[in-house]
């Protein structure tokens, strides 16, 4: 009768196994980097449509997207261009209604979406459930139009002062976006923790970057928003999404 003898591994073999597992994990993280980065690294030109509120349209959107594009075009062979297709003061219901003309007709390779800060405003009367349905629709519709188009979700800054009084449940709306990103396996660019660190240094310090309490200025765009977007594009899809409470 044969007996199975226990296998004794040396510390050297154990170390090799651990390094092998770490190597597999690192490979998965590398592979999960943004499709946008992989393509421009390969020399392909890419078009981004930025879709959302006043935080990512007009002068506000240009102030950080110009810097993001500059960083990418300096580093990679492919060239990136972008369109700002959102509208100030609008929520995700407007986003659904205008998706065809504002986004799909531009035939984007990447769509960056943020509407939660206005969905959370009581002035827009957008329930959390409706905001989630609207976001799900936009994701599904973009994928149906072009399965190869990368959808990226953004969580923006908090509001302070009068702007905050209109958004008493902003964190819940931001958490909905975080959950959606994980559910749909989408890249999430969550700016909130960075802004929280700034706000923790005092509201007056926060207002140096966000003078009106809700819209980051050029300094905030170039020093806080743009570098983090570039970083997250290189990192890619996170294995987990933390909720902010």
Q: Which CATH superfamily is domain 37-235 in?
A: SGNH hydrolase (3.40.50.1110)
- What's this model's pTM, rounded to 2 decimal places? 0.85
Percent of the chain past pLDDT 70, that is, above it, reads 84
For residues 213-232, give the mean pLDDT. Answer: 98
pLDDT class of 145 with cuts at 50, 70, 90 = very high
pLDDT for 214 equals: 98
More confident residue, 23 or 126: 126
Q: What is the pLDDT of residues 82-138, one digit of tens each?
A: 999 999 999 999 999 999 999 999 999 999 999 999 999 999 999 999 999 999 999
More confident residue, 21 or 202: 202
pLDDT for 238 equals: 64
Point out the least confidently predicted range of 29-43, 51-65, 120-134: 29-43
pLDDT class of 33 with cuts at 50, 70, 90 = confident
Q: In what order do the strands lie in the sheet with 150-155?
A: 80-84, 46-52, 110-114, 150-155, 187-190
d(CA 145, CA 39): 20
DSSP assignment of 70-126: HHHHHH-SS-EEEEE---TT--HHHHHHTHHHHTGGG--SEEEEE-HHHHT-TTTT-
pLDDT for 6 equals: 41
Q: Give the helix ranges, DSSP H, for 184-225.
A: 192-199, 203-209, 218-220
pLDDT for 206 equals: 98
Q: Where are the domains of the chain?
A: 37-235
Which H or E run includes 242?
Answer: none
pLDDT for 9 equals: 43
pLDDT for 24 equals: 36
pLDDT for 204 equals: 97
pLDDT for 62 equals: 98
What does the block give as tokens for 26? 């690192």
d(CA 37, CA 43): 10
For residues 207-215, give the mean pLDDT. Answer: 98
């Amino acid at each position: 009768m044969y007996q199975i003898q226990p296998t004794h591994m040396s510390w050297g073999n154990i170390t090799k196994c651990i390094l092998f597992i770490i190597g597999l994990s690192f490979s998965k993280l590398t592979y999960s980097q943004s499709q946008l980065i992989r393509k421009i690294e390969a020399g392909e030109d890419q078009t981004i449509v930025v879709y959302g509120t006043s935080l990512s349209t007009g002068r506000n959107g240009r102030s950080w997207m110009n810097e993001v594009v500059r960083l990418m075009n300096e580093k990679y062979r492919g060239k990136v261009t972008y369109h700002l297709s959102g509208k100030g003061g609008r929520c995700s219901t407007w986003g659904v209604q205008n998706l065809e003309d504002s986004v799909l007709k531009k035939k984007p390779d990447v769509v960056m979406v943020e509407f939660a800060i206005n969905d959370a405003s009581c002035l827009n009367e957008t329930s959390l459930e409706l905001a989630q349905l609207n976001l799900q629709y936009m994701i599904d519709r973009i994928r149906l139009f072009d399965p190869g188009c990368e959808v990226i979700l953004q969580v923006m800054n908090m509001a302070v002062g009068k702007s905050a009084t209109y958004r008493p449940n902003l964190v819940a709306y931001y958490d909905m976006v975080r959950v959606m990103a994980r559910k749909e396996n989408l890249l999430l660019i969550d700016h909130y923790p960075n802004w929280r660190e700034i706000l923790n240094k005092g509201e007056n310090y926060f207002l140096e970057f966000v003078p009106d309490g809700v819209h980051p200025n050029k300094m905030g765009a170039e020093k806080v928003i743009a570098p983090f977007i570039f970083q997250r594009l290189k990192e890619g899809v996170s294995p987990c999404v933390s909720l902010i409470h």
